[in-house]
Amino acid sequence: MSGEEDHTGLFGAEEEQESLPEMAEEECLLKKMEISVSEAEKRTGKNSVNMQETYTAYLIETRSLENASDGQNSLESLWRRYSEFELLRNYLSVTYSFVVVPPLPEKRAEFVWHKLSADNMDPDFVERRRVGLENFLLRVAAHPVLSHDKLFLAFLTQENGWKEAINEAGLQVKTDSRLKALNATFRVKNPDKRFTELKHYSDELQSVISHLLRVLARVADRLYGVYKVHGNYGRVFSEWSAIEKEMGDGLQSAGHHMDVYAASIDDILEEQEHYADQLKEYLFYAEALRAVCRKHELMQYDLEMSALDLVTKKQQCEELTTGTVRAFSLKGVTNKLFGQETPEQREAKIKVLEEQIEEGEEQLKQRNLESRDFVQKAWQEIERFKEQKNRDLKEALINYAVMQISMCKKGIQVWNNAKECFSKM
């Protein structure tokens, strides 16, 4: 299928591995397996609350390349629906929070121009989503970290039990962390400048691409209008030719070329839609990038909370051991009201506090390590992502330019043909 060729060619999922020698030793799944989403099918079934629903299922085909030499046909296939892709992606982004997880294609058609249907069941939309889902799988399979995930492999090859396994993996954590991350955004005291900048970049990228897509849709609308109105010449030239003698033939055939011109816009805009999809992927990538930043903020928040907690406890401990009470502290007031504690009580409290401090120090150390580890992995990942992005978008721009060139050439050709007809009038 031509879509698949386009796909690897454009997104360079495979080339990525070849062009980066440092990753060559890191065997990603794509080296061992061919993956494609080859079909989409409309289905009707009952959902969890026993309601009738219609959805689209996608056929995932995989073939192991390792056993290929045995001559065995190791082709496997299974059906997944969009919501399962979503589940997989959620799982991956929770499990590998430092990874810029490849985004899924849009659930509903966005940034459409008038000719495109916004219907989820529209065949063109389903087809574009099929390509998008395949692209998602290829991107994950090409990823140095994600491609080694067992549940990802299971998603591709295990028809049954996958959902249960992924639920066990504790997706619940995800919702909690998401909520906490939201709060953390406003509370982190010492944000990492690099992540702040990255977050800022993600916001800007998202806003500029969505602006671009909006205008692109309007550009498409107008271009469609310009071409289609030319089609009216086709009809009127033909009618006019009926009353002309010498001019008749020329007009008639020029009218035909005008029809061709008007019809050519459909293919042009279909190609442009492909470009829009590539931009959309990066629009959604911006969100993935932000998720990494949020995760970092959350870690930083936890780290700061631990540190703060430790400081408070150390202070309490000091107060108890030295007996000095800070003026205006709540402790001092209660002590005055309820009388001094016995030395035994104080000793016991100090002991508990000392234990807690020890724990806290351990935790802080742990969190520091985790955070350092996260930052290191995340930056490596972000660097990788940046390279991928530059490569992909440059290629997308080239393809866009090539598309424009071919549109211009077609335009020149049609008008030359028409001119030839006019010249014979």
Binding residues for other proteins, per CB under 8 A? 201, 204-205, 208-209, 211-212, 215-216, 218-219, 221-223, 225-226, 229-230, 232-233, 236, 239-240, 243, 246-247, 250, 254, 389-390, 393-394, 397-398, 400-402, 404-405, 408-409, 411-412, 415-416, 418-419, 422-423, 425
| 84: nearest Cα among 92, 95, 76, 74 | 92
Question: How far apart are CB 174 and other proteins at their closest, in Å?
Answer: 30
- Residue 158 or residue 404: which is nearer to other proteins going by CB? 404
Min CB(207)–other proteins separation in Å = 9
- Rounded to the nearest angstrom, the gap between the alpha carbon of residue 337 and the centroid of all alpha carbons in its chain is 60
Cβ closer to other proteins: 242 or 327? 242
Distance CA 129, CA 108 (A): 10
Of the pair 45, 225, the CB lying nearest other proteins is at 225
Cβ atoms within 10 Å, residue 128: 22
Report the side by side order of strands in the sheet with 52-64. Answer: 33-46, 52-64, 75-81
Query: Which residue, 232 or 345, has its beta carbon nearer to other proteins?
Result: 232
Q: In the Cβ-directed half-sphere of 268, how many Cα atoms lie within 13 Å?
A: 25
CB of 401 to other proteins, least distance (A): 5
Nearer to other proteins by C-beta: 8 or 300?
8
CB of 93 to other proteins, least distance (A): 24
Min dist. Cβ of residue 237 to other proteins (A): 8
Q: How far is the CB of 218 from other proteins (least distance, A)?
A: 5
| Nearest C-alpha neighbor of 378 from the set 289, 256, 255 | 289
To the nearest whole angstrom, how small is the minimum distance from the Cβ of residue 193 to other proteins? 17
- Shortest separation between residue 271's beta carbon and other proteins, angstroms: 14
Name the minimum Å distance from CB 229 to other proteins. Answer: 5
Distance CA 398, CA 121 (A): 31
Q: How far apart are CA 207 and CA 213, in angstroms?
A: 10
Between 92 and 254, whose beta carbon lies closer to other proteins? 254
Beta carbon of residue 100, minimum distance to other proteins (angstroms, whole number): 16
Angstrom CA distances, 368 to 199, 302, 375, stand at: 22, 10, 10
Which residue, 4 or 249, is less far from other proteins as judged by CB?
Answer: 249
Q: Which is nearer to other proteins, 379 or 422 (CB)?
A: 422
Residue 316 or 413: which CB sits closer to other proteins? 413
For residues 41 and 387, which CB has a smaller minimum distance to other proteins in the complex? 387
Task: Output 42 or 222, the one with its CB closest to other proteins.
Answer: 222
Instruction: Give the C-alpha separation, 412 to 234, whole Å.
Output: 17
Give the shortest CB-394-to-other proteins separation in angstroms: 6
Gap between the Cα atoms of 325 and 129, Å rounded:
67
